[in-house]
Amino acid sequence: MASLDTSALAHELLTIAEGIAKKAGELLVVRPDVFDINQKSSARDFATQMDHASEAFIVQSILAQRPHDGIIGEEGGNTSGTSGITWIIDPIDGTVNYFYGHPGWNVSIAAKDSSGVLIGVVYSPTINSLWHGVRGEGAFLNGLPIHVTDCTSLIDALVGTGFSYDVNQRREQALFVANLIPKVRDIRRVGAAAVDLCMVASGALDGYFEASLKEWDLAAGGLIAQEAGAIVTGRHGGTPDNEMVIAAGPALHEILMREIG
């Protein structure tokens, strides 16, 4: 269990993160008539003016309350801090969903200390879902405790995944998924990594895997999944990384890791 001092800090940070995530969601649900697009790694990977507006709002709101904290933001809103707390922000996780008007996009906010991610909040207004987790204290969806499924076989598993923006990697992933489909109940592709991880946490998916995730994709949702009982690792176990993230309950995780590894 967390110490009393750490727990008090965690709940202070959680209150801040939940309030800011909800307000950022309110900002984002008012969609612009015209999108300004700036390309990142490829034509498939882009940000809109709303990604930048959401990140600016989140960063300014955090620093107004905790001016000595550090920030890591997907759209470059980075700042170093001196407090020992660093926030990890994805202002719109699932930008393609947001751009096309599909549900599932979300605001993902986490805070970490020297021991790792301390709190995580994922807010997806289009599906009326606010997930949160506190290290050592469990995971919750709209205030109610959640837990992973007890799925123990691949053929019974509903598995989520996502695809890289890199064309060559997408070809490899397509071949792998074609081989995997006959072995599982079915595959889902939500299009937003943080929500995929939270769906594992709340039992809406039995497992999830994806390559090429960044820290802001994983931080909040990964903590929430772990606090709900999931094992979250890399391809061969250990710390999840840019190469691969695998998340599932203990029995299914071992099976998925063997299949993917």
**pLDDT tens by residue, 96-133:** 999 999 999 999 999 999 999 999 999 999 999 999 99
Rounded CA-CA distance 11/107 in Å is 19
> Which residue has tokens 């071949």?
175
Two structure tokens written together for 79:
């700042």
CA angle 6/11/16 to nearest 5° reads 125
Number of residues that this document lists for the chain: 261
CB 91 within 8 A of CB 51: yes
CA atoms within 13 A on the CB side of 224: 35
CA angle 175/161/116 to nearest 5° reads 130
Q: Residue 10's pLDDT is what? A: 98
Residues 174-193: what's their mean pLDDT? 96
**pLDDT tens by residue, 69-95:** 999 998 887 899 999 999 999 999 999
**pLDDT tens by residue, 224-239:** 999 999 999 999 999 9
Rounded CA-CA distance 58/260 in Å is 36
Mean predicted lDDT score pLDDT of the chain: 95
Rounded CA-CA distance 102/158 in Å is 21
**Residue 68: what are its φ and ψ, rounded to 5°?**
-100, 5
pLDDT band at 185 (very low <50, low <70, confident <90, very high): very high
Judged by DSSP in three states, 129 sits in: strand
Please state the domain extents for the chain: 4-145, 154-260
Residues 218-225: what's their mean pLDDT? 98
Q: Residue 1's pLDDT is what? A: 45
Residues 140-165: what's their mean pLDDT? 97
**Residue 158: what are its φ and ψ, rounded to 5°?**
-95, 115
Q: With 70 as the cut, is the pLDDT of residue 43 above it?
A: no
Strand pairing category for 129-134 and 116-124: antiparallel
Query: Which residue type sits at 66?
Result: R
CATH architecture of 4-145: 2-Layer Sandwich (3.30)
**Residue 87: what are its φ and ψ, rounded to 5°?**
-90, 140
* pTM attached to this predicted model: 0.95
DSSP-H helix ranges across the chain: 4-29, 49-65, 95-100, 167-180, 193-201, 215-227, 250-260
Higher-pLDDT residue of 105, 40: 105
Two structure tokens written together for 21:
């995530």
For domain 154-260, give its CATH number from 1.10.10.10, 1.10.260.40, 3.90.1720.10, 3.40.190.80: 3.40.190.80
CB 94 within 8 A of CB 192: yes
pLDDT band at 149 (very low <50, low <70, confident <90, very high): very high
